[in-house]
Each structure stands twice: as structure tokens, then as C-alpha cells.
Amino acid sequence: MRPGSVLLAAVTGLIWGFTAIVVIGVTLTLITGEVALPQATAAGIAGLLSALVYVWRNSSETAGGLPAWGLSAITVFLVLMVASFAAPFTLPLSVVPVWQALALALLVFGVTAANHICLSGARLGAMSRYEREVIYIRIAKGVGFVIFTIIVALPFYVMVMTSLKSQQTLLANPLDLSIDFSQGIYGLFRSYVELFTQFNFGRYLMVSAYVSVSTVVLTLLFSVPGAYAVSRLRFPGQAFLARSVLLIYMVPAIVLVIPLYAVFSQLGLRNTLTGLLIVYPATTIPVALYMLQGYFRGLPSELEEAGLMDGLSRVGVILKITLPLSLPALASVSLYVFMIAWNEFLFAFMFLDNPDIFTLSRGVVSLNSSEVPRQHLMAGAVIATVPVLFIFLWFERFLVQGLTAGSVKG
């Protein structure tokens, strides 16, 4: 028995007991709407003892009997029930019994599994620095997974669930983020129906799609020849150009807004989609050009030279050899540009006053007033998010490769 090793096992168990009860208690609260106050101290003690039992069982010589994880699970359950007076979530067991049982089972399983993963190979006797650090890292990673998943998923969960609620239930209990099926399908999606019928969101959706697709097309029309010239043709100033293109991307949009607002107002372009379709490509062309030229450089130039020798013109080479070869890059650039245009807020907000030509971003901002209930705002946010997330998940591989490969060497 070494005090250091015992302490390590104890702290591991304490952390997991505490983490598990807080996470599961909050989840139970959000799912059922009942305030499940987690008994953190009890769970911490339960986790601590179960970790010690687990390590003791693993490091003792005797074989046979219950496996270590089994003993550890029983310890968690018994200690937790005793220490929390049979109410681990401070709720009487008669309230939402099925959910509570599920949560309790999940809790026991979670603490046991986490202890099992973190403490496999741990002993109560002396451990080397290497072995201890392996355990530190397992704990840090485990806690990291839990925290990252929560901070990323929670806002999106709240966004979707809030959009499905009604004004009264939201005000009555802000913690109740369950789906209330009793109100029927129409009641559930009432906010969405109202957005599409009364708030013109169908039109905003079309306008956003039109603007984003047009921006993609325009950007490709401009940037493909440019990227080809920068990566393949020799001319004075080539290296300088290839580098300076990205500097344009550093210019803040807010610096351009006032002059563009002034000039577009005088030209009558401000409150038009044409105005947006001039500005958006100008902001996306540099990054598209940069990503594409990186890809073009990687293509073997022998193919193009062969095409030239066989009598194709430069334009023919680009259309018949370079572009078909660079379809993955074109796809990832298109997606990236589409996302930029779809998500763009500043220029849409500054330029568009006419509700007939609002993009989705602009439309959702117009919902942010005290007269429009919260669930409408969240439904608008969902409508704006779903298409872009859908496209992203569908083409994620392309996108991730395009984002990193074009720009990171080595």
C-alpha cells in the first residue's frame, strides 16, 4: 500500500462520481422538467469508494469470485443509495420513476465504466511515474470528452427544444425542455408553421439559397482562371500575387461597410440583391483563389503539357484536363463559399431594408424584438442552421480536407 497510489485511485473515483451525478442530474432535469438536484457529495463518496474497491480487487492476488468491475458497480449503487438516503436526485422515487431508474442505472454504469477505463492497470502498491501519468491523461481525456460534448451540444439542444415549446410552458418552467407530444404535431411545430405563413420565411429561404448559389457560381467564375494563372503560368509578379491575395482576406468587413454603404446608396444598389451579389464574391474570391491554386499546384503538369502538345488551347486544357481533375477541390471551395454566403450577416443587415428581399440572416434578426416570442426566434435559428448543417454533414470529408489541405504544408 502506497499513500500516493491510494490517493490517485480515490481522486479518480471522486471526480467521476461528481461528474456523473452532475451531468446526469442536469440531463434528467432538462428531459423531465423536474428539478433533479444532484447529491454531489454522496455520489463523490460512492465513486471514491468504488474506485478503491476496484483497484484493491485488481491488485489483490486472490482469483475467483466477482470480477472487479462487478464489485465496484455494487459499491457505487449501495454507497450512493445509503449516503443520499435513497434519493440520489433529491426527488422522491415516486416522481418520474422510470426516468429516475434509467438515470440511476446510467449513473452506476457510467461511474463503473469510467473507473474501469481510467484505473485499469492501477495498483494500491507503488506505481511508476509513467503509469501515473497514463492515469492522469485518461482522466483528463475522459472529463474533456464530457465537457466538450456538453458545451457543444447543449446550445443546439436548447435551440431545437425551445423552438418546439409554447410561450406559456416556456415561462412556466424554463427547465422543461422535453417534447410535449400531447399538443399534437401542429402544436409542436406551431412556431415553424407561423414563421412560414406569417413571417415570410419561405421567401427568405429562397432568397438565401439564390444569393448563396449565385455567389458560389460567381466566385468560381472569377477564381478558377485566376488560380490557374497564379499556379501554372509564369509572369512577372507571380510570387508576390500568390501571397498578397490572402492579405485581402485580412481586411475587416467593418472598414468596408461605411464607404460601400455610402457609394451603394448613391448608386441605388444598397437595398438590392445585386448589391449583395457584388460584395459577397469580392470577399470570397481571394480565399477561393488561394485554396484552388494550392490544389492546382499539386496536379502533375505533365498531363496539361501533353494536352498542349496534342493541340488543345489553354482554355481547352483548363476545361478538359484541369477542372475534371480538381473536382474535389472545386466541391470543397464551393461548399466553403456557400457557407460563408449563407451565414453572412453584416452586409445583409446593413444593406437590406426591404422585407421582400431579406436573406435568412436578416430575417432572423428582424425576429429579435420584444414583440416576437422566443420560440419563434429559435425556430428561425433552426431554419437558418439546418440547411447549412445538413450540407456540411453530407460533404464533411470534402470540406475538412479542402480546409486544411489547401493551406497547411507538411
Partner 1 sequence: MSVQDQQSASLGPPKGIGPMQRREMWLAYLMLAPTFAIILMIVAGPLLANFWISVKPVQLADLRPPTVLVNERVRGRPEAAGDSATLEYRLRNSSQEEEIRDVVVTDEIPAGFDVAALPEMCALNGQALTCTIGTVEPGWRERLRIEGTVTDTFLSTNRPERASKPAVTGDANNVLTNFDFTLENFSRIFSADEFWSVLRVTFYYTIFGTAGALVLGLFAAQLLNTVFVGRGFLRGLFLFPYVSPVIAVAFTWVVLFDPFSGTVNALLTKMGVIADPINFFGQRAIEYSLFGIPMEFPLALTTVIAFEAWRYFPLSFLFILARMQSINTDMYEAAEMDGATPLQQFWYLSLPQLMGILSVLFLLRFIWTFNKFDDIFLLTGGNAGTRTLTVDVYEQGFALSNLGAGAAVAVVVFVVLVTFATLFIRFSPKEEGL
Span 23-82, contacts to partner 1 by CB under 8 A: 25-26, 29-30, 35, 37-38
260 binds partner 1 (CB under 8 A): yes
Sheet strands (E) in 223-371: none
Tell me, what amino acid is at 211?
Answer: V
Q: Which is nearer to partner 1, 78 or 303 (CB)?
A: 303
Q: Which is nearer to partner 1, 112 or 212 (CB)?
A: 212
The CA distance from 218 to 224, in Å, is 10
Give the rounded distance of the alpha carbon of 68 from its chain centre. Answer: 37
Q: How far is the CB of 122 from partner 1 (least distance, A)?
A: 15
191 binds partner 1 (CB under 8 A): no
Q: How far is the CB of 83 from partner 1 (least distance, A)?
A: 18
DSSP code for 319? I
Stretch of 11-19, 70-78, 132-140, 188-196 lying at the interface with partner 1 (CB under 8 A): 132-140
Exactly one of 41, 60, 265, 354 binds partner 1 (CB under 8 A); that residue is: 265
Q: Which is nearer to partner 1, 186 or 235 (CB)?
A: 235
226 binds partner 1 (CB under 8 A): yes
286 binds partner 1 (CB under 8 A): yes
First-last CA distance in the chain: 48
How would you class 159 by CB atoms within 10 Å of its CB: exposed for 0-12, middle for 13-18, buried for 19 or more? middle
Fill in the per-residue mask, 365 to 384: x = in contact with partner 1 (CB under 8 A), - = not in contact: x--x-----x--xx--xx-x
CA dihedral 224, 226, 230, 235 (to 10 degrees): 140
Considering only the C-alpha atoms of the chain, give the largest distance between any 2 of them, rounded to a whole number of Å.
88
Q: Is there a contact between 70 and 41 (Cβ–Cβ < 8 Å)?
A: no
The CA distance from 339 to 39, in Å, is 44
Fill in the per-residue mask, 381 to 400: x = in contact with partner 1 (CB under 8 A), - = not in contact: xx-xx--xx--xx--x---x
Q: How far is the CB of 382 from partner 1 (least distance, A)?
A: 7
Exactly one of 229, 292, 317, 329 binds partner 1 (CB under 8 A); that residue is: 229
Length of the chain: 410
Dihedral of alpha carbons 145, 151, 152, 157, sign: positive
Q: Which is nearer to partner 1, 49 or 211 (CB)?
A: 211
19 binds partner 1 (CB under 8 A): no
311 binds partner 1 (CB under 8 A): no
